Structure 1
């Protein structure tokens, strides 16, 4: 099963040739254990990766030794492409769970851009989508209390995991330690622990056994001004759709 094809097919109808091109990006697989640094920040840019199984995170190591989690990536995501214009990676990549990645040379994307304009437009759009998700979280970190940041982070993870399968399940995988959560939303581990307990006491959500259960999604959306960036994208401007 190709989660990359499933993800891309959610937004546009892929031709048989386009599916073959995407499958070619997943022709090689590499496994990593949980909590493995796949490449460091400032490492030489080499392959780009498709996430086939598991969760990975891009991160930035700060001069004082602290770490910021920039993005969480799920099966079907392409990671490392943001560093393509540079000689070295602007951020590192680490596994959160055991993962299977599919490395491919960035030159393969040149074939996509040259021969498949709709697919190229979609890959570009999805990269902008990821940037907007990050912007939403940065706005929350800069302007919202800790509880609101955590609610937004959880709702983003829920939206990403359920969008392409069109599921409405309110209990879902969340294999993140409180340290990683804190690194993603700018809170200490102690504060994350207290915040999780408060949100459960307030009947909004719980985090237990590597799972989140959302009890009151509507109220959480109101409190953190969550915008679902995954359910719908404007594809009317794509080359193949313009009459």
Structure 2
């Protein structure tokens, strides 16, 4: 299984427990035609129609907008297990561009297929809705970064977001992780100059909090980095679906001829279990 396929399943399973028909529905998206896309390529262009959806199997991309004078604002990052164009059927054109940050492998699907697979699997539909809400919350945190946090707080928060998102997908080695993100990209995300980003990263390294070298990063002191950023993972929504929602999905699944087992698989209510 490709890292991105496993990462997508791990991510969605934070919210809803999948059964066989749910996995089959998800696989129908992942098993679409695979495509290799080189670094620096726009796979989505602002203002153009959504022609294909993409499940990222390997590599990273970034969503961005460009001003008339060429200045760029990076809005969000997409990594293995993320989906580009999830709700393309409800949008006539792309509202932002998406560019590859390194060589990318994707599984492509027609936007209308999302409607088909979610009708086959209520659990998958709920989980994809959760994923969309999660993206909204991440974007809100990026807005707070640009609007109110200091340079050190912005950088610390962004690296903690990277680590937390990769961790739940099984893509970290302890507090070590790989990110194809240059200082220019960080600057365009956080509204800072490249010089300011470089200075801030050196300060965090000198303080024994965070090490970043090219595409490698190590969180040296997690507690101090979290304290500096005021970081909480609440915005990532890394928790099980509420009990009432899971029961409603179970009832719908039974009505549509699903397996009929409880959503948690063994009859236990997982809402009280620790977060992932």
TM class, shorter-length? over 0.9
Residue by residue, what CA displacement relative to the aligned partner does 1:145-193 show, whole Å, maximum 9, x if unpaired? 1110000000000000011329671111022111111111111111111
**For residue 60 of structure 1, what is the aligned residue in structure 2?**
65
Residue 14 of structure 1 is matched in structure 2 by 18
Structure whose CA Rg is larger: 2
Q: Which moved more, 1:36-45 or 1:190-199?
A: 36-45
Gaps in structure 2 of 5+ consecutive residues: 252-261, 263-276
Question: Counterpart in 1 of 2:51?
Answer: 46
Pairing partner for 1:155 from 152, 160, 167: 160
* Structure 1: unaligned runs, 5 residues or longer: none
- Compute the TM-score of the two structures, normalised by the length of structure 2: 0.82
Q: Could you tell me how far apart the structure 1 residues matched to 2:56 and 2:196 are?
A: 31
Shift of residue 226 of structure 1? Answer: 1.2
Choose 180-189 or 105-114, whichever is displaced more: 105-114
**Residue 235 of structure 1: how far off its partner (Å):** 4.1
Q: TM-score normalised to the size of structure 1? A: 0.93
Measure, in 1, the Cα distance between the counterparts of 2:172 and 2:188. 28
Bigger shift: 99-108 or 111-120?
111-120
- Per-residue deviation, 1:194: 0.9
Q: Give RMSD over aligned pairs.
A: 1.9
Q: 1:97-116 alignment to 2 at 5 Å? A: 97-116=102-121
Distance in 2, Cα, partners of 1:70 & 1:84: 21
Q: What pairs with 1:216-235 in structure 2 (closer than 5 Å)?
A: 216-228=221-233, 229=236, 231-235=238-242
What whole-Å deviation, never above 9, does each CA across 1:81-114 have from its counterpart, x for those lacking one?
Answer: 3554222100001111111011111111111332
| 1:178–1:189 CA contact under 8 A, matched in 2 | yes
